Amino acid sequence: MAATPAVRALEQGRVAHTLHPYDPEHPADQGHGEAAVAALGADPHQVFKTLVARVDGALTVAVVPVAGTLDLKALAAAAGGRKAVMADPADAERATGYVLGGISPLGQKKALPTVVDESALGFATVMVSAGRRGLQVELPPGDLVRLTKARTAPIGR
């Protein structure tokens, strides 16, 4: 299995991590994050989805638990902006270099400002996309924050 840019970023950062492959096919009523949780039998509070929004027009990455949703007002405040809206999927793919359902907060083509929901810090490890549909990576949340140069804030609900 070829390393994704996310996995290469973890290796270059010397971060201990575990890859969790799964079958990315999922029912139409299930999102990519929910499919990962179901396939891996993981805690939906410990598996995080990577969303791309625009805060005052600037692309910004939000990392929130699969169990919840993104609070756009809280993201705007955490990013020092006034208004946040979800980014156009094509813009998200172009900026990150990943396809929807496989967008990782790590190893993005263009390093975007990133906000990780503070609930991540309550776990010894969290899972995020490893840069491809059907591949999650488990790592300590402190390393996720450090490698993405993220700030943490209560952006999930």
Give residue 1's pLDDT.
56
Query: What CATH number corresponds to the domain at position 136?
Result: 3.90.960.10
H or E segment and range at residue 49: strand 48-55
The answer, yes or no, to whether residue 57 has pLDDT greater than 90, is yes
Number of domains in the chain: 1
Q: Report which residue type is found at 80.
A: G
Q: How large is the average pLDDT for residues 127-143?
A: 95
114/91 Cα distance (integer angstroms): 16
Q: pLDDT tens digits, residue range 71-114?
A: 999 999 999 999 999 999 999 999 999 999 899 999 999 899 99
Classify burial at 33, counting beta carbons within 10 Å of its beta carbon; exposed 0-12, middle 13-18, buried 19 or more. Answer: buried
Confidence grade of residue 60 (pLDDT, cut at 50, 70, 90) = very high
DSSP per-residue letters across 70-125: B-HHHHHHHTT-S-EEEPPHHHHHHHHSS-TT---SSS-SS---EEEEGGGGGSS-
- pTM for the full predicted model: 0.94
Q: Residue 66 has which token pair?
A: 């699969």
50/33 Cα distance (integer angstroms): 9
Q: How large is the average pLDDT for residues 120-146?
A: 96
| Domain span including residue 92 | 5-153
* CA distances from residue 59 to 3, 11, 19, 21, 74 in whole angstroms, order as listed: 25, 26, 27, 28, 15
Nearest to 155 by CA among 28, 59, 48, 56: 48
